[in-house]
Amino acid sequence: MYPRAFHYHRAGSLREAASMLSEFGDAKLLAGGQSLIPLMKLRYANPSHLVDLNFIEGTSYIKEESGVLRFGALTRHAEIEASTVAGKIPIIHDCAAGIADVQVRNRGTIGGSLAEADPSGDWATVLITLQTEVRCQKSQGDRRVQLTDFIKDAYTTALAQDELVSEVVVKVPPKGSAGAYLAFKRSAPVYPTASAAVQLTMDGETCKDAAIALGCVGLTAIKAKDAEAALRGQRVTEKTIAAAVEAARAVADPQSDMRGSVDYKRMLAGSLVKRAIDIADRRARGEQVEAGHIYA
């Protein structure tokens, strides 16, 4: 099926793109297009105006400065996967390297993924385990929103009608920190059945801090606070890991679908949390441990 007719506009700057959103009203932004274009072809999305961001200079970059990593909104997943700067935070590399297939990674963008707020997306699940803020550009000025406040519901964000994501800023974790992101899939191009992100800060054998998030088992990425509390201030042992896993399973809120039943997804989420804790712990101790998506 072909999309409905629309007017095409090529923005020269992010500010101009925001002005177009305000002027046209019924407009959509084109970044990677990995979500929008299929929706338009199916006629689930029918914008009267399409504003292309891809010709705006200086919107794709990865920079480390003053203890943070800065990602331009149009930075492609593949660029993050290949970046040695982004690779300093292993959980970010895990995420970028596992998104869909190489074609999608070469087109999809980090800003577009967060703005879409798809419950089955990868970036939100990973980035809420880190201190992340989203820079929102308006036609006049900009503002910064913590990621935990940015995503409101499935496909719903804090962006106003005339705003767009311009940058994603991630604070570099303290020394002794490491994380891991795992997702279970039937094949590379499809969304995960469930996913888990774990970020730990270790002091010897003791977990000083923990952040655990679940993906694809709720309308948004779920922060498993009780699971974090089960590890925080404790030695990472089979007992504390088991407590964290049970807490993660309890907070999962999946729906039955073609990928599995509610009970199956809860058990799967717990298993992914267990594996991710082990990998994050070993990485924090200095081990080089591979992590990535798991295929059925």
Q: Report CA 73 to chain centroid distance, whole Å.
A: 13
pLDDT for 189 equals: 83
The answer to whether the CB of 181 falls within 8 A of the CB of 195 is yes
144: left (phi over 0), alpha (psi -120 to 50) or beta: beta
pLDDT tens digit sequence for 221-259: 999 999 999 999 999 999 999 999 999 999 999 999 988
H/E element, 61: none
pLDDT for 190 equals: 84
Residue % of the chain over a pLDDT of 70: 100
Residue 174 has pLDDT above 80, yes or no: yes
Alpha helices by DSSP H, the chain: 14-24, 36-41, 77-82, 90-98, 102-107, 110-116, 123-127, 147-150, 225-231, 238-251, 262-284
Q: What is the full DSSP assignment across 20-41?
A: HHHHHSSEEEESS-TTHHHHHH
pLDDT for 17 equals: 96
The token pair at 138 is 């308006």
pLDDT for 296 equals: 74
pLDDT tens digit sequence for 8-19: 999 999 999 999
What residue ranges define each of the domains in the chain, with the CATH number in brackets? 7-52 (3.30.43.10), 62-171 (3.30.465.10), 177-290 (3.30.390.50)
HSE-CB at 256 with a 13 A cutoff on CA atoms is: 3
Angle at which helix 262-284 crosses helix 238-251, to 10 degrees, equals 140
Mean pLDDT value across residues 55-74? 97
Compute CA distances 282 → 16, 205, 208, 269, whole Å: 47, 10, 15, 20
Report the alpha-carbon distance of residue 74 to residue 284 in Å, rounded. 30
The token pair at 2 is 């072909």
Higher pLDDT, 191 or 180: 180
